[in-house]
Structure 1
Amino acid sequence: MTKRSKWMAAGGAVLFCLTAAGGQAQQLKNENLLVGMPQGFKVGFKDSKNGMNMQEFVPAAETVQNWTEMVTVQVFLSRKDLQPGPFLAAMQKQWSDGCKGSTSTAVATGKVKGYESASVLLSCPLLASTGKPETAMIKAIKGNDSFYVVQRAVRSVPTPERLEKLKKYVEEVSVCDSRLTSVPCPTVR
């Protein structure tokens, strides 16, 4: 990829990568999840079924079966019933059930640009299925149209600098809505 990051937008029924042809500006429509694809990453997996769109990004030389770092983006279409705190609590339980000695730390709860949001840091000292440690920073956002979850994970015990990079990435994830002046969408080039 030639750009530092590409913006991903999820609105309506499709999760897609926005790239403006010829450098012309495009305006996002309706509610969108804004999440950047890290530099040097590629789409490793993409699927839409049962009302959920999902994409996984991995470093260009890796696969979703064998990765050192992964970003997972999930959009639960029209799921107004989901709440960030309980959703992440369920993920924490699955994580602790699947990894002896795992830890979880709530990072943030509250509103992001007017949307309910929560973030959590999950750490597993040794995941049985891979034989490697795994750390993930996860953010859930309740939109007006859909429910959004973004996770950035590493298969390692991250250094403080790498952990800060995970945290910063997840903090930048947000939702915009072209129909609302309180959370306008950016123009994408």
Structure 2
Amino acid sequence: MAAALSALVATHAAGALKDENLLLPVPKYYKVGYQAHHDNFALTEMVPEGQTVENWTEMITTQIYSGSHMTFDQYRTDMVNRWQDACDDAQSYSLSSGTENGYDYEWWLQTCQFKDDTRKPEFTWFKMIRGNDAVYVVQKAFHFQPTKEESVELSKYMKKIQVCDTRLENRACPMR
């Protein structure tokens, strides 16, 4: 599972998905800026070409917690508490929850604002999916307030993020 996300793009293109998979479209002109794998945790950060994970305006972060039974409330509460400690004004807004392809998900927005204009605000959309083998969290972050058009495109993108499983007919992965 540690290499699941990095392998996903290549295996998906070849139609060779196996077991449970996070289906995460990589936006055009994005590149992997950082990856880490520790025990049952995998982290991937992607940024637009020309940006880095240290200096970005947009970023997609994916976290995979293999074997985890973490709940939506546990993860979200932890993130809200972290942002409240780090930001002058931190807000969290529920956007959607339900089931997609047989897996429960939650989708929310967190904002972080600072009184000091030299510090960049952050607007991050979270989509968390509870799979059978892992918990998946995808974040799309902006260091600026997205326009209405950018928010609409982001909503379309987040709906494409799903989990599938080649072992379960009712949660099948797309075939190529």
TM-score, shorter chain, exceeding 0.5: yes
Q: Which amino acid aligns with 1:106?
A: S
Cα RMSD, aligned residues only: 1.8
Find the counterpart in structure 2 of residue 180 from structure 1. 168
Matched residue SS, 2:169:
coil
Q: How many residues align?
A: 172
TM-score normalized with structure 1 length:
0.84
1:126-147 CA-to-partner distances (Å, cap 9, x unmatched) read: 387x701110000111100011
The structure-2 alpha-carbon separation of the partners of 1:88 and 1:78, relative to structure 1 and needing over 3 Å to count, comes to same
Letter of the 1:102 counterpart: A
Please state which structure has a larger fraction of its residues in helix: 2
> Which of 17, 35, 40 is 1:28 aligned to?
17
- Amino acid of the structure 2 residue aligned with 1:124: C
Percent sequence identity is 35
CA-CA distance at 1:100 after TM superposition = 1.6
Unaligned runs of 5+ in 1: 1-11
1:41 equivalent to 2:47? Answer no
Structure 2 residue ranges without an equivalent (≥5): none
Could you tell me how far 1:166 is from its partner in structure 2?
2.4
- The equivalent position to 2:108 in structure 1, one of 107, 111, 120, is 120
Matches within 5 A, 1:39-188: 39-79=28-68, 81-126=69-114, 131-188=119-176
Tell me which protein shows more strand as a share of its residues.
1
Q: 1:106 Cα shift? A: 0.3
What's the TM-score, normalizing by structure 2?
0.90
Q: Cα deviation per residue 1:12-61 (whole Å; 9 max; x = unaligned)?
A: 332324336xx7x4231100000011110100001101321111000110
State the one-letter code of the partner of 1:48.
H
CA contact under 8 A between 1:88 and 1:140: conserved in structure 2? no
